Chain A
């Protein structure tokens, strides 16, 4: 070996030894967690305020970190060039990488749990992950973060899991002052506005009236924009088949409770699936199927086909939950087919008051939010980030944007969007890629009204809601003498403390969960057959269905929820 080569090798070894040492030198300084201030920083950021936004950066903004978060919703991640998210990363050093759901949620969760391959944080069915030991308890950490603590401490009881720990940062409706409800985002029998308009603006209240309106309109207009008119759609795709199974409980006057009907006085659960109401409902569907209002294909199509049918504007009515058909609604609005959009009507059994809307209860389910996993790189940093986000001016920046460019401050104190920003806001893709919506929506956030009565965001703002409404909708609602679509339904109902059943964890693989699953599967199998059967076959088939439900032994499920309801109701007495 010649001398030159030897010296090269030596210097290479020397340099590679030095790299880790020099890297260690620039590690961030220790942080005083109680105040959220760095004890010392190489660059003093404390007094620095961002020019564009007027926000104060976080102390460790110079130290980049990326958190991966799984989100239970099927959606798309915001683009990497999203200006708001880039600004937030610049001010905090934090990048959030979203993984949205593809395919079936239960399966995705099962795979994550079985492999223990968790991202930094998860927003999904929290109980499953808590039971699997995936989340870290937060009750000892929260008091260190003033904004988070102020935000969540009124709900401490709701957030506490049965094992006494708090795991979940609830992200929806964590507010003591809820804004009025403008549009029903939950369940409802929806009908096309054109149908009501054509019939002279009636309010259908029973199934008979509802289907009569649809039948009349379909007879009058067999085609809409060249497409064959479809009377009623029923989505049956996988877990979204609540559109098929849930209506009877709502007809009985219950809210979106779950897989059983709970008597409002005795608090005893029973199966609405085999009730007389259910029998009448599916018999009615059978009748309108034979009248040609339902296409048999509705039972074999998937969610995408369903959305594309609704988007065509040729479907007159369906039962669904508001959030589930937003994509179709957006297409219709974008094509300015306002009369083809839908409104929920107060359908219930004769003599029963509809109760589709939930009143703000001042409590939260406690498991509908983000859990930080045990695999999280730096839970404290993530909490500090969420704490920073909860500041009022950051919330304003994420929701409203920048004054003058994105919104206008009204003299009365409210805010409304500028015309350009409203266009961005109305299109899902631009809203996702140009605004802070996704980050805001999937983080702890302020909703409802601030202490001074000002709405937190555009969704809570009556000013903005009325400004963004189309002229068609405005005059449509005027005919009914109401200001918001939700006013067509009865006033929001205060729910008992146990509500809703669907948020209760039955325990993975337990007898109760197997029994509940069997009820759902039996319904899934029989309801379409009942609707498609020959009318004189109906009674026999119904009997067969009821027998199969009973043979499946639903009792463990009913016993378990009755026990849990009694437990919660006694505690809250």
Chain B
């Protein structure tokens, strides 16, 4: 028997080896089990709801009795102007958030890293990440007060400087809307996002700075040639992860500020889904939009991961 099939013992051997490895790590398996169950229940089980996108779903009838309509919901979605507008808004705001988020967080971390007075540095760091813990509804309240046309701080400042002669309705002008959202995000998240870069910077070998100093490098040189390359892996990993969320432009700011005047630029895919799915009761269409969003996200994350692996040899998976 064994002579007729020489592959068998080798396969068995390999299998045995794997089994032994498994049994060696069984405590680790045991530890990860709860999280696998958790992920399954909360991340995979809800996917069964995707079936709604291919049905004309009615809550009274449920999954089993609602009629199947194939790709009709998707066809309607792609013909719907409002959806493409929401898509454009989402992409635009999210790109702005991404770019400004990265530039400001990295810039802030670089500058903060140069401060040698530890006490001052810590204080600044703490104060700067506090806004992260404020709820968006509070932040939006603050912003709408600051931008108010009746005695709002920003309009008053501009008028005092003589830049404008009458208050501008900042929240009512479509052309300012994306910038306000981007600014709000920067204000709220810069401090928080910079923490991870500061951590990465602290692990850079100090002898590299000494070497640079010996070579005659000044402060800016050190920042450019040592600090920045030192945190490059961190930047790349965060970029890959963030690109996966490119279609999550946030929801609260757009929802809270989205009045009739700025509706064309404020509606994101999440708001579109909320409007059709929950408010108008068309759960199927909303699910289709959600699926579309997920597919784009997966595509983005895989592509960036692949590209990053090609260019930098820095991959997430």
Q: Is the CB of A300 within 8 A of B261?
A: yes
Which chain B residues lie closer than 8 Å to A296 at the CB level? 149, 169, 172
Which chain B residues lie closer than 8 Å to A76 at the CB level? none
B275 (CB) vs chain A CBs: closest residue: A517
Cβ contact of B60, chosen from A107, A132, A509, A526, cutoff 8 A: A132
- The main secondary structure of chain B at its interface with chain A is helix
B33 proximal to A (CB < 8 A): no
Q: Is the CB of A527 within 8 A of B260?
A: yes
Q: Is the CB of A300 within 8 A of B169?
A: yes
Cβ contact of A106, chosen from B59, B278, B283, cutoff 8 A: B278
Known A113-B59, A296-B172; contact A509-B284, beta-carbon cutoff 8 A? yes
Chain A contacts with B in 95-110, Cβ cutoff 8 A: 104, 106-107, 110
Bound complex: CA A241 to CA B285 (Å): 26
Which chain B residues lie closer than 8 Å to A244 at the CB level? 260
| Chain B residues bordering chain A, tally (CB within 8 A) | 27
B278 (CB) vs chain A CBs: closest residue: A110
Chain B contacts with A in 259-307, Cβ cutoff 8 A: 259-261, 263-264, 274, 276-285
Q: How far, in Å, is A19 (CB) from chain B's closest CB? A: 33
Cβ contact of B260, chosen from A128, A132, A295, A528, cutoff 8 A: A528
Write the A125-140 contact mask toward B (1 if CB under 8 angstroms, else 0). Answer: 0001001111000000
A462 proximal to B (CB < 8 A): no
Write the A206-223 contact mask toward B (1 if CB under 8 angstroms, else 0). Answer: 000000000000000000
Which chain B residues lie closer than 8 Å to A113 at the CB level? 59, 281
Bound complex: CA A106 to CA B260 (Å): 18
Known A295-B149, A295-B150; contact A300-B283, beta-carbon cutoff 8 A? no
Q: Is the CB of B280 within 8 A of A299?
A: no
A513 proximal to B (CB < 8 A): yes
Q: Is the CB of A300 within 8 A of B279?
A: no
Q: How far, in Å, is A208 (CB) from chain B's closest CB? A: 26
Bound complex: CA A431 to CA B169 (Å): 40
Q: How far, in Å, is B306 (CB) from chain A's closest CB? A: 37
Q: Is the CB of B260 within 8 A of A524?
A: yes
Known A132-B60, A514-B280; contact A509-B285, beta-carbon cutoff 8 A? yes
Known A297-B150, A528-B172, A532-B172; contact A111-B261, beta-carbon cutoff 8 A? no
B231 proximal to A (CB < 8 A): no
Q: How far, in Å, is B62 (CB) from chain A's closest CB? A: 9
Q: Is the CB of B260 within 8 A of A114?
A: no
Bound complex: CA A69 to CA B203 (Å): 57
Which chain A residues lie closer than 8 Å to B171 at the CB level? 300
A508 proximal to B (CB < 8 A): yes
Cβ contact of A297, chosen from B60, B169, B260, B285, cutoff 8 A: B169
B18 proximal to A (CB < 8 A): no
Interface centre among B60, B148, B284, B285, by most A CB within 10 Å? B60
A301 (CB) vs chain B CBs: closest residue: B144
Which chain A residues lie closer than 8 Å to B59 at the CB level? 113-114, 116, 132-133
Bound complex: CA A528 to CA B169 (Å): 12
B257 (CB) vs chain A CBs: closest residue: A300
Chain A contacts with B in 114-153, Cβ cutoff 8 A: 114, 116, 128, 131-134
Cβ contact of B264, chosen from A131, A133, A525, cutoff 8 A: A525
Q: How far, in Å, is A541 (CB) from chain B's closest CB? A: 13
Q: How far, in Å, is A513 (CB) from chain B's closest CB? A: 6
Which chain B residues lie closer than 8 Å to A131 at the CB level? 58, 60
Chain A contacts with B in 237-283, Cβ cutoff 8 A: 237, 241, 244
Q: Is the CB of B149 within 8 A of A508?
A: no
Chain A contacts with B in 289-320, Cβ cutoff 8 A: 295-297, 299-301
Which chain A residues lie closer than 8 Å to B284 at the CB level? 509
A529 proximal to B (CB < 8 A): yes
Bound complex: CA A509 to CA B283 (Å): 8
Bound complex: CA A514 to CA B276 (Å): 9
Q: Is the CB of B263 within 8 A of A521?
A: yes
B256 (CB) vs chain A CBs: closest residue: A302
Known A106-B278, A509-B280; contact A299-B260, beta-carbon cutoff 8 A? yes
Write the B44-63 contact mask toward A (1 if CB under 8 angstroms, else 0). Answer: 00000000000000111000
B80 (CB) vs chain A CBs: closest residue: A514
A529 (CB) vs chain B CBs: closest residue: B261
Known A228-B150, A297-B169, A300-B169; contact A236-B280, beta-carbon cutoff 8 A? no
Known A133-B60, A295-B150; contact A236-B281, beta-carbon cutoff 8 A? no
Which chain B residues lie closer than 8 Å to A133 at the CB level? 59-60
Known A527-B260, A528-B261, A529-B261; contact A297-B148, beta-carbon cutoff 8 A? yes
Chain A contacts with B in 513-554, Cβ cutoff 8 A: 513-514, 517, 521, 523-529, 532
Chain B contacts with A in 216-259, Cβ cutoff 8 A: 257, 259
Bound complex: CA A131 to CA B279 (Å): 15
Q: How far, in Å, is B113 (CB) from chain A's closest CB? A: 40
Bound complex: CA A475 to CA B261 (Å): 43
Q: How far, in Å, is A128 (CB) from chain B's closest CB? A: 7
Which chain B residues lie closer than 8 Å to A241 at the CB level? 260
Which chain B residues lie closer than 8 Å to A301 at the CB level? 144
Q: Is the CB of B263 within 8 A of A104?
A: no
Q: Is the CB of A508 within 8 A of B282?
A: yes
Bound complex: CA A110 to CA B281 (Å): 6
Bound complex: CA A532 to CA B172 (Å): 10
Known A296-B172, A521-B263, A525-B260; contact A128-B281, beta-carbon cutoff 8 A? yes
Q: Is the CB of A107 within 8 A of B279?
A: yes
B262 (CB) vs chain A CBs: closest residue: A300
Bound complex: CA A345 to CA B144 (Å): 33
Bound complex: CA A517 to CA B280 (Å): 8
Q: How far, in Å, is B77 (CB) from chain A's closest CB? A: 12
Known A295-B150, A525-B263; contact A509-B281, beta-carbon cutoff 8 A? yes
Q: Is the CB of B169 within 8 A of A525?
A: no
Bound complex: CA A288 to CA B86 (Å): 34
Write the B123-162 contact mask toward A (1 if CB under 8 angstroms, else 0). Answer: 0000000000000000000001000111000000000000
Q: How far, in Å, is A70 (CB) from chain B's closest CB? A: 16
Q: Which 4 A-B pairs have CB atoms at the shortest separation, nearest pair first? A: A508-B281, A110-B278, A509-B282, A133-B60
Given contacts A295-B149, A300-B169, A525-B260, 7 further A-B contacts (CB under 8 A): A133-B59, A297-B150, A300-B171, A509-B281, A509-B285, A513-B281, A532-B261
Query: Can you report 5 A-B residue pairs in the complex whose CB atoms are below 8 A from each other?
Result: A132-B60, A508-B281, A513-B280, A523-B260, A525-B261
